[in-house]
């Protein structure tokens, strides 16, 4: 029986959520075979929904990452100055991860491990986040920030500066040392001092020379 697109989408989401629930209950990654056995579906019906484990993982990742995508898009749609927009862009995703970590550290850690083991499957999310951040950088440059920097250079520098707040695993090691207040100060510092121009008013810009 050929599934309608609506039915297929609904069933994929149901099974993907089931997999997340099983991961939480059992404290281990769920294999394709286990998902099939627990789904209550015939093999042929299951294979209509998921081609292979990678396809199943994509559906699971979509559920986990959708809240992050939603808050990024909400921030981009908001009428905010670029510094506040960048802060909220990072803060809201950080808060989602922090709440998940505090609710169940073991489950959160396991999900992080699954993501790391299947990083190529979540790369599109990373690329989307970078694309959205570039839009914020463009707005900031229009207001005079990040002078002398190419967009890709600014993107790389900013990502490295805030990586503890965007890589969920950081919560496992740093926990309560990561705060919204510290993130705000980091973003303020980025806007005050990140420049590619010598002679910037921000002290320290281009002052360090790398040993050859």
Assigned domain for 104 exists: yes
Residue 146, helix vs strand vs coil = coil
**Beta-carbon neighbour count of residue 28 at 10 Å?**
10
Q: Can you tell me the distance from the alpha carbon of 187 to that of 87, in angstroms, rounded to the nearest whole number?
A: 6
Q: Are residues 71 and 165 in the same domain?
A: yes
Q: Are residues 84 and 33 in the same domain?
A: no
Residue 51 pLDDT more than 70? yes
Q: Give pLDDT, residue 180.
A: 97
Q: Are residues 45 and 83 in the same domain?
A: no
Assigned domain for 114 exists: yes
Assigned domain for 204 exists: no
Q: Are residues 46 and 91 in the same domain?
A: no
Which CATH number do you get for residue 82? 1.10.357.10
Assigned domain for 21 exists: yes
Q: Which two tokens stand for residue 96?
A: 């989602």
Q: Label residue 202 by pLDDT band (50, 70, 90).
A: very low
Q: What is the mean pLDDT of the chain?
A: 92
Q: Are residues 99 and 188 in the same domain?
A: yes
Q: Label residue 200 by pLDDT band (50, 70, 90).
A: very low
Q: Are residues 109 and 144 in the same domain?
A: yes
Q: Can you tell me the distance from the alpha carbon of 163 to that of 165, in angstroms, rounded to the nearest whole number?
A: 5
Q: Can you tell me the distance from the alpha carbon of 71 to that of 13, in angstroms, rounded to the nearest whole number?
A: 20
Assigned domain for 208 exists: no
Q: Give pLDDT, residue 198.
A: 56
Q: Can you tell me the distance from the alpha carbon of 30 to that of 18, in angstroms, rounded to the nearest whole number?
A: 10
Buried b (16+ CB within 10 A) or exposed e, 162-201: bebbbebbbbeeeeeebeeeebeebbeebbeebbeeeebe
Residue 17 pLDDT more than 70? yes
pLDDT tens, position by position, 119-171? 988 999 999 999 999 999 999 999 999 999 999 999 999 999 999 999 999 99
More confident residue, 13 or 6: 13
Q: Are residues 69 and 169 in the same domain?
A: yes
Range of the domain at 42: 1-50
Whole-prediction pTM:
0.88
Q: Are residues 87 and 166 in the same domain?
A: yes
Burial class (CB in 10 A: 0-12, 13-18, 19+), 55: middle
Assigned domain for 144 exists: yes
Average pLDDT rounded to a whole number, residues 37-53: 93
Q: Are residues 17 and 93 in the same domain?
A: no
Assigned domain for 155 exists: yes
Q: How many domains does the chain have?
A: 2
Q: Are residues 22 and 82 in the same domain?
A: no
Q: Are residues 83 and 169 in the same domain?
A: yes
């Amino acid at each position: 029986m050929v599934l309608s697109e609506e039915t297929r989408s609904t069933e994929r989401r149901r099974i993907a959520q089931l997999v997340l629930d099983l991961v939480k209950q059992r404290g281990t990654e769920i294999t394709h075979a286990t998902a099939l056995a627990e789904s209550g579906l015939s093999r042929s019906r299951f294979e209509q929904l998921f081609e292979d484990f990678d396809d199943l993982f994509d559906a699971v990742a979509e559920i986990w990452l959708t809240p992050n995508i939603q808050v990024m898009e909400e921030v981009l749609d908001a009428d905010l100055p670029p510094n506040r927009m960048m802060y909220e862009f990072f803060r809201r995703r950080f808060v989602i991860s922090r709440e998940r970590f505090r609710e169940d550290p073991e489950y959160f850690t396991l999900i992080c491990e699954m993501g790391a083991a299947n990083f190529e499957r979540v790369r599109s999310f990373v690329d989307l986040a970078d694309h959205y951040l570039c839009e914020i950088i463009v707005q900031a440059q229009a207001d005079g920030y990040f002078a002398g920097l190419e967009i890709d250079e600014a993107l790389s520098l900013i990502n490295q500066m805030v990586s503890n707040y965007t890589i969920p695993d950081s919560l496992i090691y740093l926990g309560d040392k990561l705060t919204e207040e510290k993130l705000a100060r980091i973003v303020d510092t980025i806007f005050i001092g990140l420049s590619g121009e010598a002679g910037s008013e921000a002290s320290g810009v281009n002052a360090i020379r790398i040993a050859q």
